[in-house]
Structure 1
């Protein structure tokens, strides 16, 4: 009986979200922007309560032996919370993605046809230990006129509950129904699995987290899925790369936040560049405490490197470790990326424009960089205000998914008695 009640409680939340989505779709841009700015203000005002809740998650995480990378994703600070708030303010400043006429035309029979953007409806968001997703996803959903059902991981349960409580407090002072932001505070898998098949209430599921979570949703959901991807990202340092660009880019991409999906995991180096700049490369990586897992060619010249195995090429480290491969030419680097890349973010460092152009044309990924860090594959960094995830698929949305990715279209046809 208790399980039946629990299942019913999740379903009731989905029903509430669907009702709220209808109300939210009628809200004006001004009303939505006012709500977003109030959300931001309230997060800042109540940041101490949120940090107290986060301390509980961190304490439980340490007791469970969470890795440093997981603890980093989980940890909040006053600065991070204020960053969440600023992201909401940026979203408020962006153009409303709904109600836009993408095209219009008149048929020979006099029918006037318009194609306009509209909200998706209800979004189900399933994610792991990143409390920032709770705020980013809610803010983007609100601005795009969508209700959202949030199902975070158990590791951040206290932080997420505090964040949602804060946002509900803010929405109570606006015309936006607080039911538009639903949070499932159960930590069992059954609650997550229920969302997979709620086609009557949920219009799209977005999983965000590790490969196992994403694949579980993709394989088991009957609700349409907007698939986000893991980030096994590469930087290729070409023979014509400027060492003054290459090393800072590599350091930033690996060490700025090694636990995030746009951090670089493998550096591929042209043999001639390595010969010239080996000492500077090793010195730089050692200064930043980066462990090197190298192929046999690199092992011979890189002190203290460990021999890389198949897993080193295929998996994310999410830590201060990097795989290193030496190649004879650009196409060898491209072949390696094609085999092991996850179509997230890939970069080439070179002063050779032809090499850069070939790399950018051939490599299949959501984001490609020439002489820049992969860390820019982020909704905020690319001017979207925030992101709900980074799509590595090709249908509907690809790359950092901001407001436009959370809309669909409808056709409005106006006639004067026409029949077919």
Structure 2
């Protein structure tokens, strides 16, 4: 096992990888609760979606761990499940079975692009400065999500966002968890983020802010209401309306995953010389999980940015992903205890990891204006628009334009010009 996952080469151990896998799982486990809640509003069976979500995460995490040796979780994407429910099903009036068929078609196209190594070539063509900007931008984005989940930052009609009520019990719990985790982290305690979540959970239970589960073991809900629902509707996706939906699923998922992989492999020290080893295998794992997940009954999965919490604990190999998959498998039987994992518990991990990822900002060449502006907009637009893809879009459109303005267009890879035009089309659509 040590040889297969290259423990020695990546300076890690069984204990370190296990702790990292558990930490990532705890950070991303909310998807087992939130994804069924969102998709049920589109008319899907909540129990079936819960099982499909867990099985998709198990499959995706195993594939990326065993094929690419990456310490990363793959699970249904929060952004795309909201787009599926509120824009496609409720907004456009499309039945969930037809919309899910669109997800399936997008997954198949993903697999073809991955097998042809087109996705790999695109990611490797992205300039190094923009890759660092993507990593830093995702850091700011997930830190913002952490502050929002904790209630430390709340919406305001006049200033858009403002400080929340820090005296509120649940907000105070998140703040205590954040402080405790930071203190352990700066003291150099291994697994500080994981221990911080455990301590926060225990404090929450003691003061009555975290629910104590009424039972531990539950039955696994049936997949029958959603399994295979895509196949009878394959002929219904070839309409202009549904093709636009498939294009959106494909485009957003592509660059959400690309951005997350760049950021996470950079954080884990896997990316070398502006290239990511075995990126093709990672992309194939991601796309395969997408197609199979749609058959099971859930929306497009993606590389989870929450994986950064496990990497921060020390996850460096695919064994972390295997542990994540095992945790999701266990969660199928112990679904009642998932109520313990609240947003207040995971907020500290997201905030701290966001700060660690934002350190990549130092690697950007801040002395060249043609790089500074695209990089800055890539970073800032991710938290401001709540979308990794939107942040990437602004950077990818402006980067080649800036070099064209300086008559240095030959310094930019031709693929970047194609991507720039595609992102303009993406905004129009």
* TM-score grouping bracket, smaller chain normalisation: under 0.3
* Structure in which a larger fraction of residues adopt strand: 1
Using structure 1 for the length normalisation, give the TM-score: 0.26
Bigger radius of gyration:
1
